[in-house]
Every structure is written in C-alpha cells, then in structure tokens.
Amino acid sequence: DRRHFKRIRLPCFDDEEPILDYADNLLDVEPLDAIELELDEEEDESIIEWFYDHKPLIDDPRFVNGTSYKKWKLPLPVMSNLYRIASQLLSDIVDQNYFYLFDKDSFITAKSLN
C-alpha cells in the first residue's frame, strides 16, 4: 500500500548557471599579504638564518644536492624544528570517512547522476 508515501523532492541543482569568468571576477583582486611567522631566536636558531630565503641552503652542499633540490640531508635539530612549525598545517583527522563528502570520485559520480 503506497498511499502514505510520497516521492522525495530534492532541491533542484542549478547546472545551467554560467561559469565564473577569471578576468571579470579574480583578475582585479589584490592578493593578501603573505603570512610570516615570528621566529624565536632561541627556539628557531637552527633555521632562522635561511627559513625565509628564496632558495634556502642552495650554497651549502652538506644539506642540499644542488639546484635541483631533489635530496635533502638535514640534521635532526633542523628537521624537528621544521616539523614543529609545519605541525600547524597538518590535519589531526585520521578518519577517512570524515573526508567522504569531499571525495573527488564521489563528487563526480553525484554530479553525473544528477
């Protein structure tokens, strides 16, 4: 008996909306100022000299193999300091289901089914 059931009405998706034009919307926007960390002279003494250089450690063959930057050999204090600074950028979430809504394959499948 299907009298009590109604078909689900999903909100309509606006696939006919025009794509945003780069030149009209983004070209004239001024970029924001770069984020620059305030490095502590005692805690960050191993990286403070070269951290904001364009190509850090390029002149020192002990740490970098040359201009290709393919291989690094950094001492432990430098690596631990870089890891401490980069830990703010790393995600604390280890559950893969958290990112399910932002899974690219699932998004493409949902768009193609629409």
Which pLDDT value is given to residue 4?
A: 74
Q: What is the pLDDT of residue 14?
A: 62
**pLDDT bucket at 1, cuts 50 / 70 / 90:** low
Residue with the two structure tokens 């305030």 = 38
Hey, what's the torsion of the CAs at 67, 50, 87, 68, to 10 degrees? 0
Convert the pLDDT of each residue in 30-67 to its tens digit. 989 988 889 999 999 999 999 999 889 888 889 988 88
Residue 54 phi, psi (nearest 5):
-65, -50
Please give the structure tokens belonging to residue 10: 């999903």
What pLDDT score was predicted for residue 12? 63
Count of structural domains within the chain: 1
Percent of the chain residues topping a pLDDT of 70? 84
Q: Is the pLDDT of residue 83 over 80?
A: yes
Band of pLDDT at residue 104, cut at 50, 70 and 90: confident
The torsion defined by the Cα of 68, 70, 75 and 80, in degrees rounded to 10, comes to: 110
CA dihedral 40, 42, 46, 49 (to 10 degrees): 50
What letter represents residue 31's amino acid?
P
Q: Give the separation between CA 73 and CA 62, rounded to whole angstroms.
A: 7
Question: What's the confidence (pLDDT) of residue 28?
Answer: 86
> Which residue segment(s) compose the domain that 19 sits in?
1-114
CA distance 55 to 66: 10
